[in-house]
Structure 1
Amino acid sequence: MTKSETIDIDIIATSDMHSYFLNGDNGSNIYRAGTYVNQVREQNENLILLDSGGSLAGSLAAFYYAIVAPYKRHPMIKLMNAMHYDASGISPNEFKFGLSFFSKSVSLARFPWLSANIEYQQTREPYFSTPYIVTEKEGVKIAVVGLTSDGLMEREHFEMEEDVIIEKTLLSSKRWIRYIHETEAPDFLIVIYHGGLNQLNKSTDEREQNVNEAEKIMQSLGVIDLLITGHQHQTFMGRDDQTLYVQAGQNAEQLIHVKINFKKRTNSYELEHVDSDIIDLNNYEEDATLLNLTYYDRKAVEHWGDETLTDHIQSTKIEGLDDVITQPHPFTQLLHDSIHRAYNYDISCVHLPTNGEKGLSESVTNKELYEAYPPPDVPMDLTIKGKHIKMLLEYSYAHITFHNKALSSTIIDETLCTFWQGVDYTIDMNAEPFERVTLNNINLDYVYRVTMTDYCFRNYRQLLEDAIIHDKGETTMVELIANNLKDKDYRIECKQTFNVLT
């Protein structure tokens, strides 16, 4: 090795793959990514393959392997092992199916999952062993540290066990990055941050502004060479002073390829050049070895997805948001009937599962049900006050506007629209916001036993501080709905009692 020798290192980043491993028309390019990674490895063995997190939840296949067949080895772990990933960040999505499910996945992975700010409640040590790794490529020391957006964890994770805590991202990053520089003295530092940039945020939701802190991390620390972000499902590259920041979209539709070049000095390495490219994976063939690896996994998901649950149920199609928020609707009644399978109290609270909810037709398969209700929500058994019921309803309808008796605008996430059964209420859209709800059979000062989805509870937790939690179900709403649909005697009979004056 001469003093002027240069060392080239390739860094490939993916993000938010959501277990999209069904090939064909199912939106996955993970097999094409395998082809590209292999080609780069053949040209340069100094390759570091990283993912920003979000690979284990968010698709039909992810739901199948977490809920329907949790005893099977997760295909995304099999694929990432086979592709020789060096590390993955941790997204709040990883916890949607519970801590035990994610812990099992971590144990089966041949690469570390990195998050410096997910900690043990008591000791405040990193929960997943090490928050960072250091790898050497021809003597060049490259450190990779993981961070998870604490704002995302507060509202998106499945109910966490008592021994896990999320530390503020900025606070944790300052401590660990300083420690890494002092103890490891890396030549190049990579931060995997599962969160995004506010400059790309198009949401008017204040909560969304608090989960994308990439700018703050770069501006507060200033000692990061490469910041790999996630969550926003966009593909981009940019630079903030000395920090290159990238995001690799979702579902392996594209990936980011960063090329770094070092020159060897007598006792050190000098970073000479950093280049980055967005790789369109549609230009590459699918890797046959990876396809063979998941052949039976894909067949199992497809077979389950095509299974018909019912062909006789009443249509619960939703014709726009106003169709379901202005009158009792068969779809929300189906949700109430299903949540009552877990806790059969007089009062229940459900929400729209997705933005732009379409409902279900008379014939329903597992795939169609999942598409109508993709989150793995579970019922919760609570005691709350009448005033809490009013506050949740007021919040929903305060962010909705009608003009000439037609819905004209909404600035609320539709999944935060709540629907109540056992509560007789009137909404006067002509009144001022937060003064529109009248509860006809509920006393604001009384307490009531209520069944509610955990999604509603987590997202309205700031309004439910005095709530008493009695129990949290283990069966997801999708499973409860499926049980109703399989019942040949089940019929939807609307029992909701509310009236909306426009």
Structure 2
Amino acid sequence: MKKIQLKILETSDVHGAIFPIHYGTNEPAAHGLARLSTAIKKVRKESDDVLLIDNGDFLQGTPLASFYFRSLRRGIHPMIKAMNALQYDAAVLGNHEFNYGLEILDKASQDANFPFLSANTLHKKTHQPYFGQPYIIKSFAGGIKAAVLGITTGYIPNWEKPEHISELIFTDAVAAADKWVRYIREVEKPDMMIVSYHGGFEVDLSKKERIEMKEKGENQAYRICTEVEGIDVLLTGHQHRIAAEFVNGVAVVQPGFSGTAIGQVTAEFHVSQEKIELGNVSIEIIEAKDFEADRAILELAQEEEKQAQQWLDEVIGTIEGDMQIDDPFQARLKEHPLIELVNRVQMEAAQTDISCTALFHNEAKGLPSKATMRDIVSNYIYPNSLAVIEITGEEMKRALERSASYFTILPDGRAGVSSKFSYPKPQHYNYDMWEGINYTINVHQAPGSRIEKLTYHGEPVEADRLYRVVMNNYRAGGGGDYFMFKGKKVIKEIQDDMAELLANYIKSHGTIKAEVNHNWRVVY
């Protein structure tokens, strides 16, 4: 009887990060697909049988990716070029793959030398997997057969622009996994069943406590591990966590985001003439920081990177005063000129007088005195457009209460971030700050009862009165658990990318004053 090893490598949530740099500063970073390439090549050199899978969210996320979508759409996406060179076996669709619509996604699929998998992303007319293949079968030494089934979080309709997914339906991830695992086991009879699910865990694995509403269905990895029989390995993502553990006997890995790590599963098979048996399975995380960037991968995207860097360095205007961010929490606790500017731009573009937006991530540095496109896209990192929706005063208050639950009071009496916005995935982008209304957040009160002194034009906001509010398309669709917005009447859509709107506003005004009008405050 022979022993044969199969190594399964997973990348996930790379988000267009090829180069090992922070685009906001161009300083070196311990991440990126070029670093991971060196690790992948090392594993392949040491092992005969290797399976390489990307678990989704690979097309969108860096200024390089943004520049491709703005200016280079007819060429091959830099990430696809790099993944082709690395000979990926398959890639699963993540939620951000749909951010630029199906035409762009279709092109990426055609340019890729590997299949896009998603068993529960179906064509609306045929109810068949949109890209045809829900799974792949790969054969290795000794006749070993490994199956890889792709599953995508079914929560996408709650985030994505309807026109981007109008031809699609997304079915429940657990039901799809159960259906296809049974089918693959019965028909293909693989020696190893791998499910690659672009989604994370709805349960805190250490405490076995639910961390997500049961009916939400954004992350269902725990249910997949415990309710679907026949899975040997579950590759996960979406939550941007680092994880390597066994759940109900299933080997589970999740490798962070932006190419910070690779998840590795090593499976040992006992092979004889009569049968193939799966033996010991081990799991680990390989970190990018331990590897130098692969020059061959960098060179593939060098021309696009050069053009993107030139675009990023374009000075678009002057900031008078201080619009920089030293402490992102303080920029959420008290009014900040950057947030004021974003809301101002949204209101002007939409011709409405109420707006809300978020400070999307903790790496946002604000705008320096000479603002460039690099500063814009480093602060406003998502390809959002805008929508004006009509909501009642009661729904406005519920939305404000959702935002107000971002805060908690720490043991020393200081304000801090609620664990619901920081674990298992940081969700700072789900705390909104509003303009055009006045309100107070009283953190001493229980969540759901924190909004006080809510007024519009000096008068109390009326529960049954309709108000028009501009916000990004993600929020307008109910994204971030703002269910009170979902399905609301859209009065107006502004299809221009919000980063472009910001840049054009600054260019047209030349000089922007860093100022706030103190229309809201947090009491703690």
Q: TM-score, normalised by structure 2?
A: 0.83
- 1:442-464 deviation line (CA, Å, top 9, x unaligned): 44323233322223223354112
- 1:419-449 deviation line (CA, Å, top 9, x unaligned): 44443x3427377725524324444323233
| Alignment map for 1:381-400 (pairs within 5 Å) | 381-397=388-404, 399-400=406-407
Matched, 1:219 2:226: yes
User: What does residue 79 of structure 1 align with?
Assistant: 82
Kept in 2: contact 1:190–1:226 (CA 8 A) = yes
Cα distance in structure 1, aligned partners of 2:44 and 2:391: 58
Kept in 2: contact 1:420–1:496 (CA 8 A) = no
Displacement after TM superposition at 1:205 (Å):
6.7
User: What does residue 323 of structure 2 align with?
Assistant: 316
Displacement after TM superposition at 1:483 (Å):
0.6
- 1:393-439 deviation line (CA, Å, top 9, x unaligned): 23333554689xx962342554334344443x342737772552432
Q: Which amino acid aligns with 1:167?
A: T
User: What does residue 487 of structure 1 align with?
Assistant: 508
- Aligned residue pair count: 495
Cα distance in structure 2, aligned partners of 1:401 and 1:291: 44
Cα distance in structure 2, aligned partners of 1:256 and 1:322: 31
SS of residue matched to 2:151: strand
Pair 1:290–1:401, CA change in 2 (3 A): closer
Cα distance in structure 2, aligned partners of 1:464 and 1:170: 27
SS of residue matched to 1:9: strand
| Match 2:16 to one of 16, 19, 22 | 19
Kept in 2: contact 1:352–1:415 (CA 8 A) = yes
Kept in 2: contact 1:322–1:407 (CA 8 A) = no
Displacement after TM superposition at 1:18 (Å):
1.5
User: What does residue 269 of structure 2 align with?
Assistant: 262
Cα distance in structure 1, aligned partners of 2:145 and 2:16: 31
Displacement after TM superposition at 1:49 (Å):
1.1
| Alignment map for 1:438-449 (pairs within 5 Å) | 438-439=454-455, 440-441=458-459, 442-449=461-468
Displacement after TM superposition at 1:468 (Å):
0.5
| Match 2:67 to one of 64, 69, 90 | 64
| Match 1:462 to one of 478, 483, 486 | 483
User: What does residue 294 of structure 2 align with?
Assistant: 287
User: What does residue 335 of structure 1 align with?
Assistant: 342
User: What does residue 177 of structure 1 align with?
Assistant: 181
Matched, 1:427 2:448: no
Pair 1:224–1:74, CA change in 2 (3 A): same
Cα distance in structure 2, aligned partners of 1:248 and 1:427: 40
User: What does residue 243 of structure 2 align with?
Assistant: 236
Cα distance in structure 1, aligned partners of 2:228 and 2:7: 24
Displacement after TM superposition at 1:374 (Å):
1.1
Kept in 2: contact 1:248–1:255 (CA 8 A) = yes
Cα distance in structure 1, aligned partners of 2:383 and 2:206: 25
Displacement after TM superposition at 1:173 (Å):
0.9
Pair 1:472–1:461, CA change in 2 (3 A): farther
Cα distance in structure 1, aligned partners of 2:519 and 2:462: 16
Displacement after TM superposition at 1:116 (Å):
1.2
Cα distance in structure 1, aligned partners of 2:431 and 2:363: 12
Displacement after TM superposition at 1:296 (Å):
1.4
Kept in 2: contact 1:117–1:167 (CA 8 A) = yes
| Alignment map for 1:132-211 (pairs within 5 Å) | 132-138=135-141, 139-151=143-155, 153-159=156-162, 160-197=164-201, 198-199=203-204, 206=212, 211=218
Pair 1:260–1:119, CA change in 2 (3 A): same
Displacement after TM superposition at 1:148 (Å):
1.7
Displacement after TM superposition at 1:33 (Å):
3.0
Kept in 1: contact 2:475–2:485 (CA 8 A) = no
Pair 1:135–1:304, CA change in 2 (3 A): same
SS of residue matched to 1:480: helix
Displacement after TM superposition at 1:362 (Å):
1.9
Pair 1:231–1:414, CA change in 2 (3 A): closer
Kept in 2: contact 1:328–1:494 (CA 8 A) = no
Matched, 1:299 2:303: no
Kept in 1: contact 2:19–2:34 (CA 8 A) = no
Cα distance in structure 2, aligned partners of 1:141 and 1:77: 26
SS of residue matched to 1:304: helix
Q: Which amino acid aligns with 1:427?
A: T
Kept in 1: contact 2:11–2:263 (CA 8 A) = yes
Cα distance in structure 2, aligned partners of 1:361 and 1:419: 22
Query: Please, which runs of 5 or more residues in structure 1 have no aligned partner?
Result: none
Q: Which amino acid aligns with 1:473?
A: I
Kept in 2: contact 1:327–1:498 (CA 8 A) = no
Matched, 1:128 2:131: yes
CA RMSD of aligned residues (A): 3.3
Kept in 1: contact 2:440–2:451 (CA 8 A) = no
| Alignment map for 1:247-258 (pairs within 5 Å) | 247-258=254-265
Kept in 1: contact 2:393–2:465 (CA 8 A) = yes
Displacement after TM superposition at 1:286 (Å):
3.4
Kept in 2: contact 1:20–1:27 (CA 8 A) = no
Displacement after TM superposition at 1:5 (Å):
4.5
- 1:355-396 deviation line (CA, Å, top 9, x unaligned): 575432222222222221112221103222333223322333
- 1:112-133 deviation line (CA, Å, top 9, x unaligned): 1111111223433212211101
Q: Which amino acid aligns with 1:16?
A: D
Kept in 2: contact 1:343–1:381 (CA 8 A) = yes
- 1:81-100 deviation line (CA, Å, top 9, x unaligned): 01100011222122233333
SS of residue matched to 1:230: coil
SS of residue matched to 1:300: helix
Kept in 2: contact 1:214–1:229 (CA 8 A) = yes
User: What does residue 34 of structure 1 align with?
Assistant: 37
Pair 1:30–1:303, CA change in 2 (3 A): same
Displacement after TM superposition at 1:466 (Å):
6.1
- 1:280-329 deviation line (CA, Å, top 9, x unaligned): 44444433322322221222222222222223444323565786567764
Cα distance in structure 2, aligned partners of 1:325 and 1:236: 29
Q: Which amino acid aligns with 1:193?
A: Y
Kept in 2: contact 1:96–1:156 (CA 8 A) = no
| Range with greater deviation from structure 2 (189-198 or 356-365) | 356-365
Matched, 1:408 2:408: no
Cα distance in structure 2, aligned partners of 1:163 and 1:326: 41
SS of residue matched to 1:331: helix
Pair 1:355–1:150, CA change in 2 (3 A): farther
SS of residue matched to 1:445: coil
Pair 1:163–1:471, CA change in 2 (3 A): farther
Cα distance in structure 1, aligned partners of 2:378 and 2:186: 49
Query: Please, which runs of 5 or more residues in structure 2 have no aligned partner?
Result: 22-27, 422-426
Matched, 1:108 2:111: yes
Pair 1:395–1:496, CA change in 2 (3 A): farther
Pair 1:468–1:492, CA change in 2 (3 A): farther
